[in-house]
Amino acid sequence: MNNHLREVCVSIKFKKNPWVTIWANPRATLSAIIQRKPNYCFYLLAEINGLVLLLPLLKSILLNRQYLGFIGLLLLAFLVGVICISIMSALYFWIGKLMKGKGSFRSVRTVVAWSNAPNLIALIVWMIFIFTLQPYSETSYLSASTNSSDKIMVCAVAQVAASIWSIVILIVGISLVQRFSIGKSAVNFVLATLFPFLCILVVWVAVLIILMILWMIRGMVV
């Protein structure tokens, strides 16, 4: 009876559009998605993530109305989105486990994927702006938008706002699936986000040390 009631409650929650409720109540929205259909809209969210990462290229292609290039970009963005979401999910999951987290990789991936939902608004705003630029052919993005600084500011604000809310959704979602406090979830987020940069820094320092040792050995030999 309790399981049946739980399924009914989840079903009722899910009847509300997640794309709308993710803004006002991300925790309940993510909980409903994870319990009912973890892969819901995953591929679309991966596409959004990829397009955001390839935004400069998207601007250039749309500005010059390169429609065949746009189709190719959609395919590339999808691959980039899937790879990036998978990598970041693995980092959040792995570091969360080190912090005694309880979430599964699948639930963490759902959270990471849905944290990209607000970026859809930023993409729409940028696309509307680019399609209103005149002239739009044989003109670079910068020169075409010289007299549109106010519109660019609106797009930038929309993108920043979407990014901030994406982080909020991500931290709340990690808290939900890993059973962390918001503070501990924020630590999980920061450590996982900084991890790739720390790896690059370690590799750079290691290469620098090796080069210095080789230079010293060469000097001793000579």
Q: Could you identify the residue written with the tokens 């706002």?
A: 161
Residue from 143, 121, 124 nearest 134 by CA: 143
Spatial CA neighbour of 195 closest among 95, 126, 101, 105: 95
User: What is the spatial distance between Cα 150 and Cα 115, in angstroms, rounded to a whole number?
Assistant: 28
Q: How many CA atoms lie within 13 A of 127 on its CB side?
A: 12
Rounded to whole angstroms, how far apart are CA atoms 21 and 158? 19
For the chain of 222 residues, list the mean pLDDT of each consecutive stretch of 10. Answer: 39 68 91 91 93 84 74 90 93 92 93 94 83 54 56 80 92 94 93 84 84 76 58
Output the pLDDT for position 108.
Answer: 95
Handedness of CA 45, 89, 112, 39 (dihedral sign): positive
64 secondary structure, DSSP code: T
Entry pTM: 0.77
* Whole-number pLDDT of residue 50: 92
